[in-house]
Structure 1
Amino acid sequence: MTHYFVTGATGFLGRRLVRRLLERPDCERVSVLVRESSKTRLDRLTEDWPHPERVVSVLGDLGADGLGVDPATLPSAPDHVVHLGAIYDLTADEAANEQANVAGTANALAFARDANAGLFHHVSSIAVAGDHNGRFTESDFDLGQRFPTPYHATKFAAERLVRRQDAVPFRVYRPSAVVGDSVTGEMDKIDGPYYFLPALRRLASLPSWLPLASPELGKTNVVPVDYVVDAMAYLMHREAPSGATYHLASPRSQSLNEIASVFSAAAGGPRIRARVPIDISGRMRKLGRALNANEKPRPVKKSLTGALTEIGIPPQLLPALNAPVDFDTAQTEHALTGSGLECPAFADYAPVLYRHWAAELDPDRARRQRMNARTVLVTGASSGIGRATALQLAERGANVVLVARRAEELDAVRDQIRAAGGKAASYPCDLTDDEAVDALVKQVLAEQGTVDMLVNNAGRSIRRPVAASTERMHDYERTMALNYFAPLRLSLALIPSMAAQRFGHIVNVTTQGIQVHAPRFSAYLASKAALDEFGAVAGRELLAEGVTFSSVRVPLVRTQMSKPGASAYRMLPSMAPEQAAALVVRALTHRAPAVNTAFGSLAGLADTLMPRMGRLATHLAEFQARPETAPDSMHLHPRRHPLVAVVSTATRLAWRPRPKG
C-alpha cells in the first residue's frame, strides 16, 4: 500500500492530482501539508474527494525548515513526496517568488531526506528554459539562458536544487502554461492567455465573416490542466531512473496569432486570416522590460502601465509573452505509450475554455448579464412602489432580495414571487439602525453571493408647513434618518462589493417634488434632495469603477405613505404603484442618471428660466390654494376657498412695498 505526502494540495493542480491518487486502489494514505489558515479550505475539498478517510492533514509551512513537520509523527515513511507548492504567478515580486519557489523547494527536499522518502516528485515548469531560442529537450537544463521574470528565474533555481542533491531519488515535471480543463473549461484564476480574452471578446462586435490581418505576435505553449494531471498520475508510477524529466506541454508550440484567432472565433468574432509580415514580438518584450525596470518611472511609463492595467494586462506579462523555445516532448510521449494519453489540440478545446471564462472569470461578466441573471435588493419591498418593483423584477427573472421592517408582509411578497416561479428572499431590517444594516449586508452577501443592483425605495413623508415646524426639529431628523442616512448607509456598505466585480447600479427613488419645490414638504423634499445629490456626485466619482446611479423622480403615487395628504391633491393626476415601479425597472434596465416625468422636467426647466415666476406660481397655487392636512397646523392656515386665498395673497404681494437698495 502507498503513502503519499503532498505539498500544494489545495492549488489548481494539487487538488486534481490528489483526487487521482485517492482513486488508486493501492493508495493507503495521502498526507497533505496545510497551514492552519488553509485547513478549512482543505476540509471542504476533502468532502468532495473519493475516499476522504485516506486524507490526513499535516500542519506545516513551505517557509519553515523541513516544512515544520517532524517525520517521526508520520505513521510511515512516504513512498512519494509530491512537491506542488509554489507561486504560479508572473505578477508576484522577486521576494515572494524566492521564498515560495526556492526556499520552499529546499525545505521540501530537507523533509523528504529526513523522512526517508522513496521518491521526490518536483513540479517545475517550462519557464526554466527562459529566453532560450530553439529546441529544448527534457534532458536540457542550463544552456546559458536568461530569465524575463522572477518567476522564471526562481523556477530554474528550484529545479537546480533538486538536481544537485542526491539524498532522495527524484523526477521532474515541466508543465507549460496551464489553462483550464479541456472538457469542462474549469479554471481557477486569470492567467496567461486569459488576460487577453476581454480584448478578444470585444472583437465579437465585428462581423464573424470579416477577415482580420495581424502582425507576427510570437508563440507560446499552453496545455490543459486535465492532461497535466492525468500524465503526472501515470508517470509517477512508471519505472524510470532518478532524474527522469517530462515536458508536460503541447508537442507543437502555438502561435499567439493562432490563439487569438481561435478565441476570437469562440467569442463569435472574426478570425485572423492574414499575417502582416512584421514581427512585433521582440518589441513587445522590449517594452515589457522597460515597463518593469526598477528605474524611476516617468509619466509616459506610468501612463502605459496604467493603461495596460486598466485593460487587464499586467505589465509583468509582456516580457514573457513570447516564448521563442521549441519544447521537445519526445521522451514524455514515449513514456506515455500505452496510457492512451496525448495532449489535445488547442483549437479543439479553446471554445470550452472561453465559455467557462465568460461565465465564471470575465471581470466584466456582471455588467454583461441580463436582468434574469442579476440579484437586485429592494428596500421598502413589503408594500407600495417597493412591492410592485419586486414583482416586476421577479417577472423578468431577477433574483429579488426583499428588505423592509414588517417581516410578515415581506414574507407574503416573497411567497407570492416564489409561487409564480420567481426567485426571492426576504430580510426584515430596520434601516435606521446602523448595526442592523451592517448585519444585513454581511448576511445578504454571504447568502446571495453578490448584489448587482440596489433600489433605495423605503421612505417616510411628512406634509407640514415650515411655520408649523419651528418647534418640531424631530420631523426633519426622523425624515432624514430613513430617507437619506438609511439609503446612504446601505449604498456605502454595498459599493465595495460592486466595485470589486466592476459593476453595480443603484436606483434612488426620489420625487418630482424636488423639481417643483412643493410647499409643505420641506422635511421630505430636503431628505430626498440630499439622496438625489449624493447619487449624482457618487455616480460621477465611481463611473470608472463600474458603479452607476439613477434617480427616479416619481410624482404623487397612490400608496399608504401618500394617503394622509391625498385629499388635498385629489384633483391632480397621480400614479399607481405599478406605474412608478415601471419607471424604476426602466432605470435598472437603461441606467440613465435620472428618470423624470414630462411634468417634472417641464417644471424644472420653467423654474430655471423663470425662477421668480416659478416661486410666485408655486406659492399661490400649491401653498395658498391647497388646504392643510396636518391637524396641528390648520390654525396657522385656516381653510379658505382657493380663489379667495389666491386673490387675497396676490393682492398682498402686489401691494407690499419693494425694498430699496
Structure 2
Amino acid sequence: MSYFVTGATGFIGRFLVEELLDHREGEVFVLVRESSLPRMEALIRHWGTDRVTPVVGDLATEALGVDPAWVAEHRGQVEHFFHLAAIYDMTADDATNEAMNVGGTRHALALAGDLDVGCFHQVSSVAAAGELRGTFDETMFDEGQHLPSPYHRTKFESERIVREEGSVPWRVYRPSIVVGDSQTGAMDKVDGPYYFFGLMKTMRDVLPAWLPLAGVDMGDTNVVPVDYVARAMDHLAHLPGRDGEAFHLVNPEPQPVVEMINAFCAAAGAPTFATGLDRGLTRRLPRAVQPSGLLNAVGKNGALQAVLDLVTSRVGVPAEVLAHTSFTAVFDSRRTERALAGSGIAVPDLESYARTLYSYWEEHLDETTARDPRIRAALQGKYVVITGASSGIGQVTAHKVAQAGGVPVLVARGKDKLEEVRAMIEVRGGQALVYPCDLSDLKAIDRLCEQLASELPSVDYVVNNAGRSIRRSLRLSHDRFHDFERTMQLNYFGAIRLVMGLLPTMQEQKRGHVVNVSSIGVQTNPPRFSAYVASKSALDSWSNVVASELVGDGITFTGIHMPLVRTPMIAPTKIYDKFPTISPAQAADLVVEAMVGRPHEINTLLGNAGAVMHTLAPKLTFRLLNMAYHVFPDSAAAKGEGSGGTRESEQIMLAKIFKGVHW
C-alpha cells in the first residue's frame, strides 16, 4: 500500500505524514514544487525515514504537472490520495482562493484518476457550511447556504468538484478552526485565534490579571488541535466501507467565543472578560443586532472595514478576521464520533492545552522584537553568545536575537538540541551558529573561547544564562556538599571563565556587553536555596567589581535578578506548577532589554522590596522567611508526600502574594 499527499510541507500535511509513517506501512509520495525541494528534504531528514519520496509538480498545473512517465509507472499502486494543498486563510483574495482551492482540487482529482487510486481524501472545511443557521450534519452539503467570502465559496466549490466530477471513490474531512499541537503547541503561522494573541500580550503587560473586564456574547466558535485532526484523518481513511462520506473534525461541544478568549487570556496571564447579560437574552435579539452579527456586518462592509483596519491592524488583527469570529451553524459530528469510538482519538478540552498554544506562539511566532526599530538597531548584525541556548530562556532569547537581525551563537552541552534550535531559526529566515560545550568543564570553556575568538567576526554580547538550581534545606544537605560544588562550578566558575576567556577579544574591539541572568533570590534570600543563591550572588559580586575595571575598555555588565520562570529547570519541583511564574518569552524580553538598554541591573518591584526589607528590618525579614520555610515543604514532600489540604492553600496564597520568589 502506498500514499500520495499534496500539501505535505504545510501544517496539517506534516502532521498527517508523521501519522502515516508512525502507524502505516508503505511508501509515501509527496507533491513538492521544484523550489520547495530543499524544505522537503529537510523535513525528510527530520522524520528520519527513507519511506518518503518527493514528486515534483505544481498545484496550478493540469494533473499537478507530474511527469506522465511517473504516473504510468505508479498507476494502480497508490491506495490513498490525500489532497491537503490549499489556502487556509480568511484574508486571502478571491483570485488566490480560486486558483489554489478550486483549480488545485480539480488538478489533484485529475491526477488521482490517472493513477487509478483506491480513494481520494479531500480536506475541506466547515466553511463549506457558509452562514447556514442551525445544525449542519455530516450528510448535508448543498443546502442553499450563503457563502460570504472567497474562502467559503471556494471551499464549497472544491468539495462539490470532488463529489460530482471525480472518477474515483472519495472521502471528505471538514475540520473547524485548526490550532497548534495540543502536546507541543507547534504551529506554523498566525491564524484564527492567534491574531488576538498580540493584544492579549499587551493586556498582560499593562493590566493586572485580576482586573475584571466587561465582555459581550460573541456567539460560538469551534477549535480543534492539529494532532487530533491528523490522527482522526489517518484512522478514518483506513476504515472499510466509508467511501462517499463526509466527516466533521470538530469539537462536539460548541465553544462560546468569550470562553475561548478567556482560556487564552488566562494562559497569557492577562485579565479575562465577563459577560453581563445572559446569552439566552442576547440570542433572542435579531441576528443583525446581536454583538456577533454587528461585528460580522462591519467586517464585511468594505468602507467600514478599511477604517476599522487602521485601528485593529495596529494590534495585529486584520479587520476581515472580525467578520468570522463565530459560526452561525452548529456542526453535528456524531458520525465521526461513532467512527472513532474505541480508537482513543478525541478532542481535548481547550483549557488543558491553551497555555501550551500560547507559549509556543510567544516563543516562536511573536514578531514584536522584529518590528521594534530600537532593538533592530542594537542587534542587527551583532554576534550574541548565549549559554544554555538549547531550551528555556536561552532558546527564546536566541529566537528574538535572530528576529532582530542578530546572529545568536548557541552554546550548551547537547549538540542535537542546539541543532534543532538552529534549524527552527533558519526556517524562519534567521541565522545561528552552534558551539557545543560542557560549561561545567573549565578546560572545555577555554577551548570554546579560543574557537569563538578565531571563528567569529566579533563578540558583541555574552549572555550567561546557563545555570543549575538546587532546592534543598540545610537540614538535608549535610551529606550533599557536592550540591554547593556543582552550583558554584556552573553558575559562577563557568560563567566567569567564559567572560575572562572572551575579554581579550572584546577589549581589542573596544566594545562588549555581558548579561548575567541572576535571580530574585539574591535580593530576597528565600529558604532552601542556599547553594543556588550563593552561586548567583558570587557572580553578581564579581561582575560589580570587574565592571569598574573594564568600563574604560567599553565593556559593560547587566545583572538581571530574574523572578521565577516556567522553565525545565523548575519542573522537578511540582508545587511550582500552581505558582504564578513568568514565561520564558517574558524572561527573554528582559534579556533583550538588557542588551539594548545596557542598564546596570534589571530588578522586579518585589525583588527591590525584599532588598530594602533586608536592609531596614533584617530581623523581622528573617522571621517572615522562617514562617515561609515551615509552610513550604522540602523536595520529598513537594513530590507528593504529605502535601495538599490547608497547607497547600497557604503555599499558593503566599506564592501569589510574593509573585516570582523561589520558595
- TM-score of the two chains, using structure 2 as the length reference: 0.58
- Tell me which amino acid in the other structure corresponds to 1:130: G
Equivalent position of 1:18 in the other structure: 17
Specify the SS of the correspondent of 1:101.
helix
Specify the SS of the correspondent of 2:251.
coil
- Going from structure 1 to structure 2, the CA distance change for 1:309 and 1:62 (only over 3 Å counts) comes to same
Check whether the contact 1:257–1:272 (CA below 8 A) recurs between aligned residues: yes
- Going from structure 1 to structure 2, the CA distance change for 1:142 and 1:275 (only over 3 Å counts) comes to farther
Check whether the contact 1:401–1:425 (CA below 8 A) recurs between aligned residues: no
Equivalent position of 1:352 in the other structure: 356
Check whether the contact 1:219–1:322 (CA below 8 A) recurs between aligned residues: yes
Specify the SS of the correspondent of 1:242.
coil
What is the rounded CA distance, in whole Å, between the counterparts of 2:20 and 2:115 in structure 1?
A: 20
Equivalent position of 1:286 in the other structure: 297
Percent of residue pairs identical:
40
Specify the SS of the correspondent of 1:33.
strand
- CA offsets 1:209-251 (integer angstroms, 9 cap, x no match): 3333311122211101111111111000102343111000000
- CA offsets 1:25-53 (integer angstroms, 9 cap, x no match): 5x221111111111111111112325x22
What is the rounded CA distance, in whole Å, between the counterparts of 2:214 and 2:227 in structure 1?
A: 33
Correspondent of 1:336 among 307, 319, 340: 340
Equivalent position of 1:30 in the other structure: 28
Check whether the contact 1:309–1:315 (CA below 8 A) recurs between aligned residues: yes
Equivalent position of 1:132 in the other structure: 132
Specify the SS of the correspondent of 1:5.
strand
What is the rounded CA distance, in whole Å, between the counterparts of 2:294 and 2:386 in structure 1?
A: 54
- The offset of 1:63, in angstroms, is 1.0
What is the rounded CA distance, in whole Å, between the counterparts of 1:140 and 1:62 in structure 2?
A: 28
- Going from structure 1 to structure 2, the CA distance change for 1:203 and 1:76 (only over 3 Å counts) comes to same
Equivalent position of 1:627 in the other structure: none
- CA offsets 1:104-137 (integer angstroms, 9 cap, x no match): 1001111111211111111100010111111100
Correspondent of 1:39 among 25, 33, 37: 37
Equivalent position of 2:83 in the other structure: 83
What is the rounded CA distance, in whole Å, between the counterparts of 1:169 and 1:240 in structure 2?
A: 11
Equivalent position of 2:60 in the other structure: 63
What is the rounded CA distance, in whole Å, between the counterparts of 1:309 and 1:241 in structure 2?
A: 44
- Tell me which amino acid in the other structure corresponds to 2:229: V
Check whether the contact 1:149–1:316 (CA below 8 A) recurs between aligned residues: no
Specify the SS of the correspondent of 2:327.
coil
The question of 1:419 aligning with 2:438 is answered no
Equivalent position of 2:273 in the other structure: 272
- The offset of 1:150, in angstroms, is 1.1
Specify the SS of the correspondent of 1:326.
strand
Specify the SS of the correspondent of 1:199.
helix
Q: Extract unaligned runs of 5+ from structure 1.
A: 382-388, 403-414, 432-436, 442-456, 461-481, 488-505, 508-574, 596-661
- Tell me which amino acid in the other structure corresponds to 1:105: T
- The offset of 1:11, in angstroms, is 1.0
In the TM superposition, what are the counterparts of 1:32-431 in structure 2 within 5 Å?
Answer: 32-49=30-47, 52-69=49-66, 70=68, 71-74=71-74, 76-205=76-205, 206-276=207-277, 279-290=290-301, 293=302, 302-364=306-368, 419=445, 426=452
- Tell me which amino acid in the other structure corresponds to 1:15: R
Check whether the contact 2:180–2:187 (CA below 8 A) recurs between aligned residues: yes
Check whether the contact 2:201–2:270 (CA below 8 A) recurs between aligned residues: yes
Check whether the contact 2:173–2:249 (CA below 8 A) recurs between aligned residues: yes
Equivalent position of 2:533 in the other structure: none
In the TM superposition, what are the counterparts of 1:585-604 in structure 2 within 5 Å?
Answer: 589=593
- Going from structure 1 to structure 2, the CA distance change for 1:236 and 1:593 (only over 3 Å counts) comes to closer
- Tell me which amino acid in the other structure corresponds to 2:291: I
Equivalent position of 1:578 in the other structure: 551
- The offset of 1:165, in angstroms, is 2.5
- Going from structure 1 to structure 2, the CA distance change for 1:593 and 1:365 (only over 3 Å counts) comes to closer
What is the rounded CA distance, in whole Å, between the counterparts of 1:24 and 1:588 in structure 2?
A: 43
Check whether the contact 1:417–1:423 (CA below 8 A) recurs between aligned residues: no
What is the rounded CA distance, in whole Å, between the counterparts of 1:308 and 1:73 in structure 2?
A: 53
Specify the SS of the correspondent of 1:251.
coil
What is the rounded CA distance, in whole Å, between the counterparts of 2:350 and 2:450 in structure 1?
A: 42
- The offset of 1:588, in angstroms, is 7.6
What is the rounded CA distance, in whole Å, between the counterparts of 2:4 and 2:336 in structure 1?
A: 24
What is the rounded CA distance, in whole Å, between the counterparts of 1:375 and 1:284 in structure 2?
A: 41
- The offset of 1:272, in angstroms, is 2.7
Q: Which moved further from structure 2: 109-118 or 207-216?
A: 207-216
- Tell me which amino acid in the other structure corresponds to 2:6: T
- CA offsets 1:254-288 (integer angstroms, 9 cap, x no match): 11100111111111233334434664211111111
What is the rounded CA distance, in whole Å, between the counterparts of 1:421 and 1:376 in structure 2?
A: 27
Specify the SS of the correspondent of 1:247.
strand
- Tell me which amino acid in the other structure corresponds to 2:294: R
- The offset of 1:424, in angstroms, is 10
- The offset of 1:329, in angstroms, is 0.4
What is the rounded CA distance, in whole Å, between the counterparts of 1:211 and 1:593 in structure 2?
A: 34
- TM-score of the two chains, using structure 1 as the length reference: 0.58
- Tell me which amino acid in the other structure corresponds to 2:343: S
- Going from structure 1 to structure 2, the CA distance change for 1:301 and 1:213 (only over 3 Å counts) comes to closer
In the TM superposition, what are the counterparts of 1:437-586 in structure 2 within 5 Å?
Answer: 576-578=549-551, 581=554
- Tell me which amino acid in the other structure corresponds to 1:264: C
Specify the SS of the correspondent of 2:345.
coil
- CA offsets 1:590-617 (integer angstroms, 9 cap, x no match): 689999xxxxxxxxxxxxxxxxxxxxxx
What is the rounded CA distance, in whole Å, between the counterparts of 1:336 and 1:286 in structure 2?
A: 38
Equivalent position of 1:563 in the other structure: none
- Tell me which amino acid in the other structure corresponds to 1:284: L
What is the rounded CA distance, in whole Å, between the counterparts of 1:191 and 1:106 in structure 2?
A: 26
What is the rounded CA distance, in whole Å, between the counterparts of 2:161 and 2:323 in structure 1?
A: 25
Check whether the contact 2:298–2:305 (CA below 8 A) recurs between aligned residues: no
| Count of aligned residue pairs for this structure pair | 433
What is the rounded CA distance, in whole Å, between the counterparts of 1:339 and 1:249 in structure 2?
A: 16
- The offset of 1:354, in angstroms, is 1.3
- The offset of 1:149, in angstroms, is 2.1
What is the rounded CA distance, in whole Å, between the counterparts of 1:216 and 1:238 in structure 2?
A: 40
RMSD: 4.3
- Going from structure 1 to structure 2, the CA distance change for 1:106 and 1:367 (only over 3 Å counts) comes to closer
- Going from structure 1 to structure 2, the CA distance change for 1:24 and 1:429 (only over 3 Å counts) comes to closer
| Larger Rg, first or second structure (1 or 2) | 1
- Going from structure 1 to structure 2, the CA distance change for 1:301 and 1:112 (only over 3 Å counts) comes to closer
Specify the SS of the correspondent of 1:80.
strand
Specify the SS of the correspondent of 1:48.
helix
- CA offsets 1:468-523 (integer angstroms, 9 cap, x no match): xxxxxxxxxxxxxx99xxx9xxxxxxxxxxxxxxxxxx99xxxxxxxxxxxxxxxx
What is the rounded CA distance, in whole Å, between the counterparts of 2:357 and 2:313 in structure 1?
A: 23
- Going from structure 1 to structure 2, the CA distance change for 1:103 and 1:458 (only over 3 Å counts) comes to same
- CA offsets 1:347-396 (integer angstroms, 9 cap, x no match): 2221211121111112226799xx9xx978669x9xxxxxxx999xxxx9
Runs ≥4 residues deviating over 6 A: 374-377, 396-402, 415-418, 420-425, 427-431, 457-460, 590-595
What is the rounded CA distance, in whole Å, between the counterparts of 1:588 and 1:255 in structure 2?
A: 37
